[in-house]
Structure 1
């Protein structure tokens, strides 16, 4: 089981043009009327005021944690030990908080340099041991719940904690510990190889890599596919092993299929059948819309010069926007991030090819590989995650966040930043906004496509790599209009967090609703966004949408309304 305590939110791994047009014309806005609940005042939890550079990694006392758990179990079986049992349980939770903090620090350093074997090994060790510790925690909690201390324990911890424990213990077992270790090893192997640039072919008598090719030249396209076929063969082989391992994990835990298990791990409050119905709407309304928009705007968008403003260059624009109309708490989060260096924007060759935000204890941290993500829209996206994490406060053993909701926090902020594109991009502002909006639609299409791909793969886990490539090519053509046969292995979510990808589609739909709302009444849109970001830990997706004044994307006309708005405004 993945450690859901290691809160994480990220970006699409496939590099896309994050760009977009200031469209605050009420006459072109949606006819849908919204009733937005009054926003609550943000409560900023205590933070540690520590710089990232001063966060030192020290391997946790793993043996000490095991010993404390064993002693607590022994005491729970005796009489007259209530105070000791409850006190030691607290001590263990605090030790696991430190454990998690150390693991996140190790993982960040591992991602900064995937060739650093020390942090790679530490990260893998802690990941493997957490699965075992998680099982011991479930065992200890079960024994306490069956002891004379049950009532005192429930009163102390709260029913919500107990409910999370009941869910959590279904998702892990000592029986899967060896399989979980194998899964972690395969993920680390993938991360290391996916960052490598040693896949080559022969062109004009010379050995070349992808970096040596001019991908705007038709003459270099055959060499590109020769290299990617080799990359696909190795990384796809790792994926096949991961699929096999994950199917075994699900079976040992009593699930008929892995997808049901994965949806529970991700704390989804909708089913894979709901996702399939959502994908039908996407095919009906978004696919033809995207094709028309692409035909009208793609040449103009490709003609835009790259590198007008880079990721770091976007920071002053975001800071000014936050000061203009966003909650004071967002301004404080941004100032705190800068003050304590809780971010990295870099393009070192051995960095993990990803953009994500995580949390170290109660300190959010933003990671962006700028060789992959060059546009400030990436930073706007990640700061949406950062702010939500900033409001979380301390987390404990069985806390988790909701990925669908997390991506509304990020993509919603992207849409609200369109109002500042004229300052950022000048005469290109309108086209940059259109580009960014098209990428939101692409997120919906790709999210639906990759979810359908994974559903099919895990239905038939014996599928060969060639069959997987063919399946992906067919599905990508159905959704995007052209086949992508080999490059799916660059989507790290398939390897690290199966079935994550549909969250990009659902959340992009919700973010586009905030965009439509902003054209009718920007204050409403800002308030809806402010509402949705207040949901941090141990929440689901659909209820926060409702409470924030947003639509359920599964049982409403939201997808059709989005298509109608785009058609009215741009076609």
Structure 2
């Protein structure tokens, strides 16, 4: 079957509610392990069926946000997702106290129960109207971003399609493109401020309704951070300031010299070479064919996986009108199919997003043996190890995508990993302060971003843009609106991925691939630090781990003569 043949049918909530109530009641009084096992399997089948339909709606809605049918389905899902969550929560309440819990370990690993216990603390029927409101506000943000139409030099583009102009070797073009994008956010400043203000207040009310001090405390439970807390994250942020920010400043100085500007402005940051950044060579179809060849050569496991993705049309990669921004991977449970969504725009980011999302997809493809849908995926920071590491593991094949620009690509790719760390920590720190002070006004939020940006990104010069100088850049960071606190995860995973980079590309460690494959197979049956241990990596929280990782990356970058790029 092709993806277009996967059937979407809106679930009948009333019927499912009756079935779930009956099964949950029977589970509570089950007289044997066998009876409990059958009920758990029946509930799992219902959960997978609902999740399948939700993902089919979500994918098709994001592919074309002008499609009226899926726009109407969005209304249904915004309203009913919290109602379905209520049904699963009732099930969790029974299963965590079941006397048969130890006998169900093959169906429900320990992490399932850890997730279930967190769900019981982060969900309440009393908060359903608030969850519904949150969903509606996130959809407003997504629609605002997806329907953006930017007039640039006589043509109309969406936000994703502006990418190549931001990398132009002509400084005037870069500046004009950056100003065009910024003007969109400034024009809609009132809308973005209103949506986020309501989101912050709604989320704070969710947290207090459920008995939490603030949404930060709630967020750590919601994100299932079993191995670390906000104090550990605070220390980690300080380590980024100490070890990474100075390294990034050195790299930015090299960049300014390479592109021959006296001072880097915000519109210069994306251009890394005076003759242009590395770009992939070939049409999207040719790039997918190269990716297929690459994964067949990488290993039998990745070959089987990517063949499956191509044969079933499980990749939607081109930027086009009406399409949502960004990139993601999701999983369609009843078809056992990962799905990759991207917005190719002719820049090196096309290959980054392809290998990144393929890392996610490969992990969930390898984890299809796990019977519990809740733990096919690990927690978010673990998920990002698979994706970010895959970007580096595939380095030996980058020449097939970038030809004679491959060295430029590799230098930029590794440098961008370091550039990202302070920014990723900035996004996390910003959210901590916002949700610790939900009473902030929109102006105070922008002031907070500006203050923290000066701390983590001291090399960023927004002086030629009033809007950016006022602290408005974060409007374009969708995670801040749609996935609160999902960002430090990327940085923690990046530190792990850089270790895989060193093992595979510098040390030529023959055991690195088997370690990577092992953690893909684990899925969500282990916690973050257990997965790090299984991969034989150092924890990002371990003293010295960050310093040694950054030192290795900088040593590689320092060994390269910029004039040869």
List gaps (5 residues or longer) in structure 1: 1-49
Report how far residue 93 of structure 1 moved.
Answer: 2.8
Query: Which whole-Å deviations, capped at 9, do the CAs of 1:399-436 have from their partners, x for residues lacking one?
Result: 35211111111111111222223343233221211100
Structure 1 114/524 Cα, relative in aligned 2: closer, same or farther at 3 Å?
A: same
Structure 1 145/514 Cα, relative in aligned 2: closer, same or farther at 3 Å?
A: closer
Structure 1 128/556 Cα, relative in aligned 2: closer, same or farther at 3 Å?
A: farther
Report how far residue 208 of structure 1 moved.
Answer: 11
1:378 and 2:329 aligned: no
Report how far residue 79 of structure 1 moved.
Answer: 9.2
- Show the counterpart of 1:347: 319
RMSD: 3.2
List gaps (5 residues or longer) in structure 2: 260-271, 463-467, 559-565
Distance across 2 between alignment mates of 1:122 and 1:429: 44
Distance across 2 between alignment mates of 1:547 and 1:76: 34
Distance across 2 between alignment mates of 1:338 and 1:256: 47
Distance across 2 between alignment mates of 1:264 and 1:255: 10
Range 162-171 or range 76-85, more displaced: 76-85
Distance across 1 between alignment mates of 2:135 and 2:194: 15
For residue 375 of structure 1, give the secondary structure of its aligned residue in structure 2. Answer: helix
1:429 and 2:406 aligned: yes
Distance across 2 between alignment mates of 1:209 and 1:547: 42
- Show the counterpart of 2:218: 261
Distance across 1 between alignment mates of 2:162 and 2:353: 26
Distance across 2 between alignment mates of 1:76 and 1:98: 20
For residue 329 of structure 2, give the secondary structure of its aligned residue in structure 1. Answer: strand
Q: TM-score normalized by structure 2?
A: 0.83
Structure 1 117/262 Cα, relative in aligned 2: closer, same or farther at 3 Å?
A: farther
- Do 2:63 and 2:323's aligned partners in 1 also have CA atoms closer than 8 Å? yes
Report how far residue 532 of structure 1 moved.
Answer: 2.8
- Show the counterpart of 1:409: 386
- Do 1:65 and 1:92's aligned partners in 2 also have CA atoms closer than 8 Å? no
1:101 and 2:52 aligned: yes
- Show the counterpart of 1:475: 452
**Selected match of 2:299 from 327, 330, 334:** 327
**Selected match of 2:240 from 274, 277, 282:** 282
State the aligned residue count.
516
Q: TM-score normalized by structure 1?
A: 0.82
Query: Which whole-Å deviations, capped at 9, do the CAs of 1:457-504 have from their partners, x for residues lacking one?
Result: 111111111121222123223222215522311111111111111111
Structure 1 235/514 Cα, relative in aligned 2: closer, same or farther at 3 Å?
A: same
Task: Determine which structure has greater relative contact order: mean sequence separation of CA pairs < 8 Å that are 6+ residues apart, divided by chain length.
Answer: 1
Report how far residue 70 of structure 1 moved.
Answer: 3.1
**Selected match of 1:237 from 171, 177, 194:** 194
- Show the counterpart of 2:546: 559
Report how far residue 163 of structure 1 moved.
Answer: 4.5
Report how far residue 380 of structure 1 moved.
Answer: 1.0
Distance across 1 between alignment mates of 2:434 and 2:321: 32
Query: Which whole-Å deviations, capped at 9, do the CAs of 1:434-460 have from their partners, x for residues lacking one?
Result: 100111112212211100110111111
Structure 1 546/472 Cα, relative in aligned 2: closer, same or farther at 3 Å?
A: same
Distance across 2 between alignment mates of 1:209 and 1:352: 10
Report how far residue 297 of structure 1 moved.
Answer: 3.5
Distance across 2 between alignment mates of 1:380 and 1:266: 25
- Show the counterpart of 2:266: none
Distance across 2 between alignment mates of 1:313 and 1:376: 12
Distance across 1 between alignment mates of 2:423 and 2:66: 31
- Do 1:312 and 1:345's aligned partners in 2 also have CA atoms closer than 8 Å? no
For residue 523 of structure 1, give the secondary structure of its aligned residue in structure 2. Answer: coil
Structure 1 238/199 Cα, relative in aligned 2: closer, same or farther at 3 Å?
A: farther
- Show the counterpart of 1:228: 185
1:185 and 2:171 aligned: no
Distance across 2 between alignment mates of 1:466 and 1:569: 42
- Show the counterpart of 1:510: 496
Report how far residue 222 of structure 1 moved.
Answer: 6.2
Distance across 1 between alignment mates of 2:14 and 2:78: 15
Report how far residue 395 of structure 1 moved.
Answer: 5.3
**Selected match of 1:71 from 6, 22, 26:** 22
Report how far residue 252 of structure 1 moved.
Answer: 1.0
- Do 2:8 and 2:56's aligned partners in 1 also have CA atoms closer than 8 Å? yes
- Do 1:200 and 1:208's aligned partners in 2 also have CA atoms closer than 8 Å? yes
Structure 1 520/162 Cα, relative in aligned 2: closer, same or farther at 3 Å?
A: closer
Distance across 1 between alignment mates of 2:177 and 2:116: 55
- Do 2:386 and 2:520's aligned partners in 1 also have CA atoms closer than 8 Å? yes
Report matched runs for 1:92-241 at 5 Å. Answer: 92-140=43-91, 142=93, 150-152=98-100, 155-156=103-104, 160=110, 161-198=112-149, 216-217=171-172, 225-241=182-198
**Selected match of 2:475 from 489, 504, 516:** 489
**Selected match of 2:526 from 539, 543, 556:** 539
